[in-house]
Structure formats: C-alpha cells, structure tokens
Chains A and B, each alone.
Chain A
Amino acid sequence: EVQLVESGGGLIQPGGSLRLSCAASGFTVSSNYMSWVRQAPGKGLEWVSLIYSAGTTYYADSVKGRFTISRDNSKNTLYLQMNSLRAEDTAVYYCARGVAAAGFLWFDYWGQGTLVTVSS
C-alpha cells in the first residue's frame, strides 16, 4: 500500500528555516516524480516544487532561491528545505507522488499534510 507521511512542520519566526520530510512506503521515491504542494489557510492549492526521478528539480517563482527539494534514497524520503521563511509561506504542505506517462504528469497519492506557520 502506498503511503506518504509528512513531518517537520511547526511555528517558525520570519527569516527562519525549517526542513519538511515526507516518508514514503509501498513504492520507491527515487523511481518516481515527487512534488510539494501547499495550501494557505482557507485558500487553494499552490504547487511548490517538483523533482524528477532523474533528479532534475523545479520550483515555483514564489520559493525559488529559498526552498530546496531533495530526497534520501536510503531512507525513501523526500525533503523540502525552507529558508528565509516569510509570513506568506504559512500553509499546509503536502507531498505527492507524480506519475509520468506519455508526457503527461499527474499526482496520484498525497500525504496528509504538515502545517507550517511563519509568525513572530
């Protein structure tokens, strides 16, 4: 059974750093596309970052230069390192597994999310 479990969220002051983790089971993180998607309180979904199975990474303009997506193959875990955090980064952060086929990409499994609150 495929499962994604996020952790690492919490309350952090503006300008601070936080690392989110997404532990996967039932499949191999390094063989799949993986993504982070966030949702500010009461708002819609916002894509944050994507890592291809080959290791290529992509970021939303809103986080580029501040966030870094990575993975640990030995732990089958996806990470999101978040630096220089701002109040507008406050959101529930979801990790999601991407399926790529014939050029298409969709997210078929999602974690339960972890809340990041940036506030002084």
Chain B
Amino acid sequence: DIQMTQSPSSLSASVGDRVTITCRASQSISSYLNWYQQKPGKAPKLLIYAASSLQSGVPSRFSGSGSGTDFTLTISSLQPEDFATYYCQQSYSTSITFGQGTRLEIK
C-alpha cells in the first residue's frame, strides 16, 4: 500500500496566520491527492481534489499544490472556523489511503 505521511501531526496557530501542512507519499502518485477537513463529531469535508482544484463552496484562502510525492495544503489567513483536523488522501491506487491527520489548534 502507498503510505501517506503528514507533517506536522499537530500545529498551533493564530487567527490571521498563514499555515502550511505537508503530505508525502511513499511513491509517486502524480496529482491523485485530495484534502479533507474534519471537525470533532462531524464527517470529513472535501477541500481540495486532484492536488490543486478547489471544491465548490470552499473559501479561496484554501489552496493545494504539489505532484509526485510531495504535496501541501495552505491556508492563507486562518479564520476561527478553520481550527480542525486535516487529512490528505491518495487515489492513485485502488487501495486508497489517508494520511494520519494534522490537528490545527488555536494558539
């Protein structure tokens, strides 16, 4: 299986900060990479698909980049509602895998 490793595992930041979360694949996955946001007790929400395409309705402060093995999710100016856990997910293989998650907390 393709292993997805996110860094950091947790992150403290303030409203207005620019934040970057990294996801690394154990082998090249081209651009077959999606990002999700999950708040406690809620289902995941799709933010970015195909590495850099913004899902409809998602604020433009979210952006994704990368290809091959290294990917990033950037939040340009953190808002209070952005404090959550973020997951990357690869669909290059039919054995789909998620990263372990990055918990974004208020500083």
Contacts and interface: CB of A to CB of B under 8 A. Distances in A.
Interface centre among A47, A50, A96, A99 (most CB of B within 10 A): A47
Interface of A: 35, 37, 44-47, 50, 58, 60-61, 94, 96, 99, 102-108, 110-113
Interface residues of B, number: 24
Given A45-B101, A94-B43, A112-B43, A105 B91 contact: yes
User: Dominant SS at the B interface?
Assistant: loop
Given A45-B44, A111-B43, A106 B95 contact: no
Interface of B: 1, 31-32, 34, 36, 38, 43-46, 49-50, 55, 87, 89, 91, 94-101
B94 A50 contact: yes
A28 to B, nearest CB: 20
B87 A104 contact: no
B96 A110 contact: no
A110 B44 contact: yes
A107 B46 contact: yes
A60 B98 CA distance: 12
